[in-house]
Chains A and B, each alone.
Chain A
Amino acid sequence: MPLFLIIYIRSYNRHKKNHLLEKQHMQQKFEAEILQARIEVQDQTMQTIATELHDNIGQLLSLTTLTLNSVNINDSEKAEKKISDSLSFINKSIRELRELAKLLHGEQVVENGIGYALDQEVNWLSKTGAYEIEVNNSLVDLIEKSPDKDLIILRLLQEIINNIIKHANATAITFNAYYEDKTLHLQVKENGIGFNYEQAAAASSGMGLNSIYKRIEMINGKLVLNSSPNHGTNILIEIPYP
């Protein structure tokens, strides 16, 4: 009996050791994923800043230069209007720059909570004017926080939005986000062209579905995707939180 007991203890200990190694491996994988997500978020932020500077602030400042160049001091009435327009362009540029400064604090997006990050993403999307957007976001007042998970959720959301922009041809997008029973619920619904889920899942490259599922798995979440050609796509996400 003592011999069996000792054999059992040794095998249990070996099992415990393997389990610990596996846990460490998972933790390393999770940390690597967080790091990757952080880099991707930074990358995306940089792209957004470049686009904003080039397409928005750059244009506004060019317009200001043009307007100011065309000012004829002798024609005081027109000059006054042009100067006033220039001032409004400059004010708009300052506002845009402030928004950009906020974006530069990439981490701040998630530091203020996932609700705030979701709002930022939706604001950004609505600025394009290409979509009719409906948002029901009750996560802004969420007290619970999990910065690591937030970063992955944000990246997940960005991936979904990117897919909609690139592939969906949608005209309306609905975002629903709420917290219930220690679970964070996210729903993204659009009226685009939809797709055949089986075909998309089988393709190794493409819409980044694998990356979305991988991220969901990392945070022990659940994703339900309903889509069919010409009937849009509805994505439901449930994540244990915090």
Chain B
Amino acid sequence: MNFFTPIVIAELISLIIALIFLFKDNISFWKVNIAYLIIALSAEARGSYLSAHHRHNVGLFNTFVLFEIAFISYGMYYCLKKYTNPRPVIFTGLGICYSIFIFFTFKNGIHAYNDVFNDNTVSVMSLIFVLYCLYYYYKLLNDDEVLDLKHHPEFWWVNGVLFYYFGGTAINLFYGLFNILIFEHIKLRLFIYYIINIILYSNWIYSYICRAKQRKLLY
């Protein structure tokens, strides 16, 4: 199996662009993006490496889910706080996600941490993030201020999240349906997963560029 999967490539490009455009940003959320991309890239690269050597990588991705929940929740908190006090919503979401994670980790057994993927957490997390995105759009549309959405970094960041987790929810719901081979070694499920990852990182890259432009205009 090739080490440089489309996801690794997308994450690598994202990380490079984030380093170029966000390194000097004085808003912590944008800087945290760099840290998250480093973690995501490391996890994905390590996962690919383990997979290439026919070793289990499930434990790695189970751990990564914990970071993913925290980062996306933090991002949504940052985007929503301009319109409302998002603490109750975000903390409820975090509570639900982590509770489910802990519950299923213990239910499956600690010894199975490296063998059984915590897909229940991922399903619930995806649904919650989609709802966050819809809530963000609702607040955005009801706000009195009219934004130039074409160049609004938060809007594009949330768009990426929506595409990715909506796609992710669809994959989780129709798991069996997408289990067919479309290329020699690639299942439809994996192919869609590649596509939604590329969409996610494309949106995020664009949002980083918008953020750099915005910062230039502001300071």
8 closest Cβ contacts across the A-B interface? Answer: A17-B146, A2-B162, A2-B166, A2-B163, A13-B149, A20-B146, A16-B146, A10-B149
Report the bound CA distance from A6 to B150 in whole Å: 11
List, in ascending order, chain B residues with CB within 8 A of A16's CB.
Answer: 141, 146
- The one of B137, B146, B163, B166 in contact with A9, judged by C-beta atoms closer than 8 angstroms, is B137
- CB pair A13 B162 closer than 8 Å: no
Chain A interface, DSSP helix/strand/loop, else mixed: helix
A-B contact pairs, 9 of them (CB 8 A): A2-B162, A2-B163, A5-B162, A6-B162, A9-B137, A13-B140, A13-B147, A13-B149, A16-B141
A residues contacting the other copy or chain, number (CB 8 A): 12
Closest Cβ neighbor of B152 among chain A residues: A13
- CB pair B162 A9 closer than 8 Å: no
Closest Cβ neighbor of B146 among chain A residues: A17
A5-B137, A9-B141, A13-B141 known; 15 other A-B pairs, CB under 8 Å? Answer: A2-B163, A2-B166, A3-B163, A6-B159, A6-B162, A9-B137, A9-B149, A10-B150, A12-B141, A13-B140, A13-B147, A13-B149, A16-B141, A17-B146, A20-B146
List, in ascending order, chain B residues with CB within 8 A of A12's CB.
Answer: 141
B102 CB to nearest A CB, Å = 30
List, in ascending order, chain B residues with CB within 8 A of A5's CB.
Answer: 137, 162
List, in ascending order, chain A residues with CB within 8 A of B141's CB.
Answer: 9, 12-13, 16
A3 CB to nearest B CB, Å = 8
* A143 touches B (CB below 8 Å): no
List, in ascending order, chain A residues with CB within 8 A of B146's CB.
Answer: 13, 16-17, 20
* A73 touches B (CB below 8 Å): no
Closest Cβ neighbor of B167 among chain A residues: A2
B156 CB to nearest A CB, Å = 10
Report the bound CA distance from A13 to B143 in whole Å: 10
List, in ascending order, chain B residues with CB within 8 A of A2's CB.
Answer: 159, 162-163, 166
A185 CB to nearest B CB, Å = 35
A26 CB to nearest B CB, Å = 16
List, in ascending order, chain A residues with CB within 8 A of B150's CB.
Answer: 10
B206 CB to nearest A CB, Å = 12
Interface string of A14-47 (1 = CB under 8 A from B): 0011001000000000000000000000000000
List, in ascending order, chain A residues with CB within 8 A of B162's CB.
Answer: 2, 5-6
List, in ascending order, chain A residues with CB within 8 A of B159's CB.
Answer: 2, 6
Report the bound CA distance from A187 to B156 in whole Å: 58
List, in ascending order, chain A residues with CB within 8 A of B166's CB.
Answer: 1-2
Closest Cβ neighbor of B159 among chain A residues: A6
B23 CB to nearest A CB, Å = 28
Report the bound CA distance from A13 to B139 in whole Å: 12
List, in ascending order, chain A residues with CB within 8 A of B137's CB.
Answer: 5, 9
* Contact residues, A52-109 vs B (CB, 8 A): none
Report the bound CA distance from A3 to B166 in whole Å: 11
Pick the most buried of B146, B163, B166: most chain A CB atoms within 10 A of its CB.
B146
* Contact residues, B30-68 vs A (CB, 8 A): none
